[in-house]
């Protein structure tokens, strides 16, 4: 009996010491986390000061999405013996220079996608990859500062496809006007004097025209999130049928050492593209049904 009491006493004492040790460790862990949070806040504040200094700033992030599948004697599928794949890549980059009297902002976006469907029972089908999404855009904006937020500016923007029919069509906007920068992350361009050059080959029917150009570009990094939204619109003075707009949104979430999850989506309205692709019932541009164009890509992302 005496030995049993002694054993129980030692066991309770051990549990008490262990509980006390765990509580102490938890408290120490909490203190360390508080210190990390404080240091991270100080680091973010220092980074903000660094970002505020004038000079060249560079950055880029992209997304890769892919899926592959194969079927053998899968009778519920439309093609019972087949293999398929989808691959997509997006890249967003910028190079910006900020000086006391002027700025020069340059950016680029590329979005490429491929798809394939191989019918193993059809020796004549196309078993290779075919291009789907195909977007390529370069923008250069120069501004002479009138104040901290307003500048007289000139913009050159080029848009086309990259994989197929390069520069057919190709769009080059060149104009002058005002740039408003209400905050470091947001740039709004309003150019009432802009010419939209459209390049095309063969039987394509595209018209260039004079009009107004409006661009809004927003870039923001919050912790592990990186976001970009770009709206580019051209309003033709000759005819609204010659107007066009594109809105692209990109989101990247950093999980580990720049690797994370990325999402990009795009919307576009362009009646001339719709006419040259689908035509119209009367053969006239003004009678073309201008459907909303869209794309999206979700996959792994990498930022640097």
Quick: pLDDT tens for 11-58: 555 555 555 576 777 777 777 777 777 777 777 677 666 666 667 888
H/E run at residue 12: helix 2-52
Mean pLDDT of the chain: 84
In the chain, how many domains are there? 2
* 14 and 115 together in one domain: no
* pTM given for the model: 0.74
* 80 and 124 together in one domain: yes
Residue 280 — very low, low, confident or very high, per pLDDT cuts 50/70/90? confident
Contact by Cβ (8 Å): 232, 246: yes
* 143 and 196 together in one domain: yes
* 66 and 4 together in one domain: no
Give the domain-ending residue among 30, 53, 76: 53
Percentage of the chain modeled with pLDDT above 70:
87
Across 169-183, b (16+ Cβ under 10 Å) vs e yields bbbbbbbebebebee
Residue 6 — very low, low, confident or very high, per pLDDT cuts 50/70/90? low
244 or 7, which is more confident: 244
Q: Report long-range pairs for 141-148 (Cβ below 8 Å, ≥24 apart).
A: 141/103, 141/104, 141/105, 141/106, 141/179, 141/187, 141/189, 141/215, 142/102, 142/103, 142/104, 142/105, 143/102, 143/103, 143/104, 143/105, 143/179, 144/101, 144/102, 145/100, 145/101, 145/102, 145/103, 148/181
* 67 and 148 together in one domain: yes
* 165 and 45 together in one domain: no
Domain that holds residue 249: 55-303
Give the domain-ending residue among 28, 53, 78: 53
Structure tokens at 64: 């890769």
Give the domain-ending residue among 10, 36, 53: 53
* 34 and 61 together in one domain: no
* 49 and 96 together in one domain: no
* 100 and 7 together in one domain: no
* 147 and 157 together in one domain: yes
φ and ψ at residue 90, rounded to 5 degrees: -130, 145
Contact by Cβ (8 Å): 118, 129: no
Contact by Cβ (8 Å): 188, 215: yes
Residue 159 — very low, low, confident or very high, per pLDDT cuts 50/70/90? very high
pLDDT in tens, 108-158: 989 888 888 888 888 777 777 888 878 899 999 999 999 999 999 999 999
* 295 and 224 together in one domain: yes
* 259 and 290 together in one domain: yes
Say which CATH number the domain at 127 has: 2.40.230
């Amino acid at each position: 009996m005496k030995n049993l009491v002694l054993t129980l006493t030692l066991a309770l004492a051990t549990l008490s010491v262990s509980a006390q040790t765990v509580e102490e460790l938890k408290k120490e862990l909490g203190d360390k986390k508080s210190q990390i949070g404080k240091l991270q806040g100080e680091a973010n504040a220092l980074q903000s000061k660094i970002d505020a200094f004038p000079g060249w700033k560079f950055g880029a992030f992209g997304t890769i999405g892919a899926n592959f599948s194969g079927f053998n004697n899968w009778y519920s599928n439309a093609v019972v013996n087949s293999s398929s794949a989808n691959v997509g890549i997006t890249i967003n980059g910028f190079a910006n220079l900020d000086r006391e009297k002027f700025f020069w902002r340059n950016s680029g976006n590329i979005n490429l996608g491929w798809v394939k469907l191989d019918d193993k029972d059809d020796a004549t089908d196309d078993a290779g990859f075919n291009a789907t999404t195909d977007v390529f855009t370069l923008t250069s904006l120069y501004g002479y500062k009138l104040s901290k937020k307003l500048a007289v500016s000139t913009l050159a923007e080029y848009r086309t496809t990259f994989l197929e029919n390069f520069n057919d069509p190709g769009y080059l906007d060149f104009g002058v006007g005002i740039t408003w920068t209400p905050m470091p992350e947001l740039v709004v361009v309003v150019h009432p004097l802009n010419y939209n050059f459209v390049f095309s080959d063969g039987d394509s029917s595209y018209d260039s025209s004079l009009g107004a150009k409006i661009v809004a570009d927003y870039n923001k990094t919050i912790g592990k999130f990186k976001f970009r939204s770009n709206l580019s619109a051209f309003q033709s003075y000759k005819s609204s049928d010659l107007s066009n707009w594109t809105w692209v949104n990109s989101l990247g979430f950093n999980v580990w050492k720049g690797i994370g999850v990325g999402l990009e989506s795009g919307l576009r309205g362009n009646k001339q593209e719709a006419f040259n692709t689908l035509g119209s019932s009367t053969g006239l541009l003004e009678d073309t049904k201008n459907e909303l164009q869209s794309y999206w890509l979700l996959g792994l992302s990498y930022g640097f």
